[in-house]
C-alpha cells in the first residue's frame, strides 16, 4: 500500500523512527553486517531502542548493531550513500521520497529552503541520491524490441554570447550528445553521454547494455545507424524526413518521450546542468522513467534497496 508525504512524515517522529524505517526497507527485519555480510548480528544500543547518552554526555538516537562474526559495529547507514552524514536521517528519508516521486525532478535550492540546509549540503545530498539511482551493474542486458535515439542537451547557439562564440554564436555549439535505449517490452531506459553522434560511438554506448542476437532494433534513418544495426537480430527504421514516425509497431517515440521529459525538467527545474554531472541526472530521470508505472512509495522502496555500496565522497563529486 502506498503512502503520501504527510503519512510518511507522520511515521518519522524522531531520528529513531527514521532509523527503524530504513532498517525495515533495507533489511526487512533481517539485519546484515555492512562489513562482512554476515546475518544475525545483535542489537547493541540504545538498549531502550530510542535514545542513549554518549561518552560526551549528549543524547543520541543512532541505532547501532554489532556483528557476531567480524565483531565490528555498524548501522543501517554504514557503507551507503548516507554514510558519515551530519544531516538528520529524517531529512534524508523525506528528500529520498521527493526525489523518487517528483516527475520533473527537484532543485537543490528548493531542498535547501524546505529543509534548512546549506547550498553545498543540499547539492551534495542530491548527487548522492542520484548515485543510488544508477542502473544496477548486474541488472542484465536489454532484449526484445529496443528503441535507440539520440538528442543534444544545451542551449541554442544563436542565444550564446557573441564574445564567446562569435556574433550570435552562429555555426557553433557546445551541446552535449546523449543516446537513449528504451526496451519497449519492459519500459526500461538506459541513457548515456556520448562524445559525438557517430556509428562508432553509438555502438560503444550499446555495447554491454544489449544482447544483439536477441534484439530487434528500432531507430530512425540516420546514417550513423546503418552499420551499427548489422549485428542485431533485425533492424527496422522510420523515415522522419518523409514525415513517417510510426510504421506498424516500429517507432522511436518511446525514446523521444523520455527526451521530452528530460529536457522540460532540465529547463524548468534545474535550468542548467554541467556536462560533468549530466550522467547522474540521466540516471535520475532514467530511474523514474523506468519505474513510472509504480507508486511513489514503491519507487522509494526500490531506491532505498540501491543505497548500499554507492557511497560518494564530496571531493570526487565536485
CB 285 within 8 A of CB 177: no
Asked whether the whole model's pTM tops 0.75, one would answer yes
Cis peptide bond N-terminal to 314, omega within 30: no
Average pLDDT over residues 21-39: 94
pLDDT of residue 49: 80
Distance CA 64, CA 62 (A): 6
Distance CA 183, CA 139 (A): 13
Give φ, ψ of 87 to 5 degrees.
Answer: -80, 140
- The distance from CA 207 to its chain's CA centroid, rounded to whole angstroms, is 21
Give φ, ψ of 289 to 5 degrees.
Answer: -70, -45
pLDDT digits (tens, 9 = 90+) for 105-145: 999 999 999 999 999 999 999 999 999 999 987 678 999 99
pLDDT digits (tens, 9 = 90+) for 149-168: 999 998 776 776 654 555 44
CATH architecture of 142-273: 2-Layer Sandwich (3.30)
pLDDT of residue 169: 44
pLDDT of residue 317: 81
Question: Residue 55 to residues 19, 52, 77: CA-CA distances in angstroms?
Answer: 21, 10, 21
- The helices-and-strands tally (H runs, E runs) of the chain is 11, 12
Whether the per-residue pLDDT at 1 is higher than 60: the answer is: no
**Confidence category of residue 74, pLDDT binned at 50, 70, 90:** very high
pLDDT of residue 173: 61
3-state secondary structure of 290: helix
Whether the per-residue pLDDT at 296 is higher than 50: the answer is: yes
Handedness of CA 253, 140, 289, 264 (dihedral sign): negative
pLDDT digits (tens, 9 = 90+) for 230-288: 899 999 999 998 899 999 999 999 999 999 999 999 999 999 899 999 999 999 999 99
3-state secondary structure of 206: helix
pLDDT of residue 167: 47
* 302 Cβ contact partners less than 8 Å away, ≥ 6 residues apart: 100, 291, 294
Whether the per-residue pLDDT at 88 is higher than 80: the answer is: yes
Output the average pLDDT for the chain. Answer: 91
Domain assignments of the chain as residue spans, ordered by start:
5-133+305-317, 142-273
Least confident of 5-14, 172-181, 230-239: 172-181
Of 258, 262, 297, 283, nearest to 96 by C-alpha is 297
Average pLDDT over residues 185-190: 94
Distance CA 200, CA 189 (A): 21
Percent of the chain with pLDDT over 70: 94
Q: Is 102 exposed, middle or buried (0-12, 13-18, 19+ CB in 10 A)?
A: middle
Whether the per-residue pLDDT at 32 is higher than 70: the answer is: yes
Distance CA 192, CA 173 (A): 19
Average pLDDT over residues 162-188: 74
| Strands of the 42-45 sheet, one edge to the other | 42-45, 64-66, 73-74
pLDDT of residue 139: 76
Amino acid at each position: 500500500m502506498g503512502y503520501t508525504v504527510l503519512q510518511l512524515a507522520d511515521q518519522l517522529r524522531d531520528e529513531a523512527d527514521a532509523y527503524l524505517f530504513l532498517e525495515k526497507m533495507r533489511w526487512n527485519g533481517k539485519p546484515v553486517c555492512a562489513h562482512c555480510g554476515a546475518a544475525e548480528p545483535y542489537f547493541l544500543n540504545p538498549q531502550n531502542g530510542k535514545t542513549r547518552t554518549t561518552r560526551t554526555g549528549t543524547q543520541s538516537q543512532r541505532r547501532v548493531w554489532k556483528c557476531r562474526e567480524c565483531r565490528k559495529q555498524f548501522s543501517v547507514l554504514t557503507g551507503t550513500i548516507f554514510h558519515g552524514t551530519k544531516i538528520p536521517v529524517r531529512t534524508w528519508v523525506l528528500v529520498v521520497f521527493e526525489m523518487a516521486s517528483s516527475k520533473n525532478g527537484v532543485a537543490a535550492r528548493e531542498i535547501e529552503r524546505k529543509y534548512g540546509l546549506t547550498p553545498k549540503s543540499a547539492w551534495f545530498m542530491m548527487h548522492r541520491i542520484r548515485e543510488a539511482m544508477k542502473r544496477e551493474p548486474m541488472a542484465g542486458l536489454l532484449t526484445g524490441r529496443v528503441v535507440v535515439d539520440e538528442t543534444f542537451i544545451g542551449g541554442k547557439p544563436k542565444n550564446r554570447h557573441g564574445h564567446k562564440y562569435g556574433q550570435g554564436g552562429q555555426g557553433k555549439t557546445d551541446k552535449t550528445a546523449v543516446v537513449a535505449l528504451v526496451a519497449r517490452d519492459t519500459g526500461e531506459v538506459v541513457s548515456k553521454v556520448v562524445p559525438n553522434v557517430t556509428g562508432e560511438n553509438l555502438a560503444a554506448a550499446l555495447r554491454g547494455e544489449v544482447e544483439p542476437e536477441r534484439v530487434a532494433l528500432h531507430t530512425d534513418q540516420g546514417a550513423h545507424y546503418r552499420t551499427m544495426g548489422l549485428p542485431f537480430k533485425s533492424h527496422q527504421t522510420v523515415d522522419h524526413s518523409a514525415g513517417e514516425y510510426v510504421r506498424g509497431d516500429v517507432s522511436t517515440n518511446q525514446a523521444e518521450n523520455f527526451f521530452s521529459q528530460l529536457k522540460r525538467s532540465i529547463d524548468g527545474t534545474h535550468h542548467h546542468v554541467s556536462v560533468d554531472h549530466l550522467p547522474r541526472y540521466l540516471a535520475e530521470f532514467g530511474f523514474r522513467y523506468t519505474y513510472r508505472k509504480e507508486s511513489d512509495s514503491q519507487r522509494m522502496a526500490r531506491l532505498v534497496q540501491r543505497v548500499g555500496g554507492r557511497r560518494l565522497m564530496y571531493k570526487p563529486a565536485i
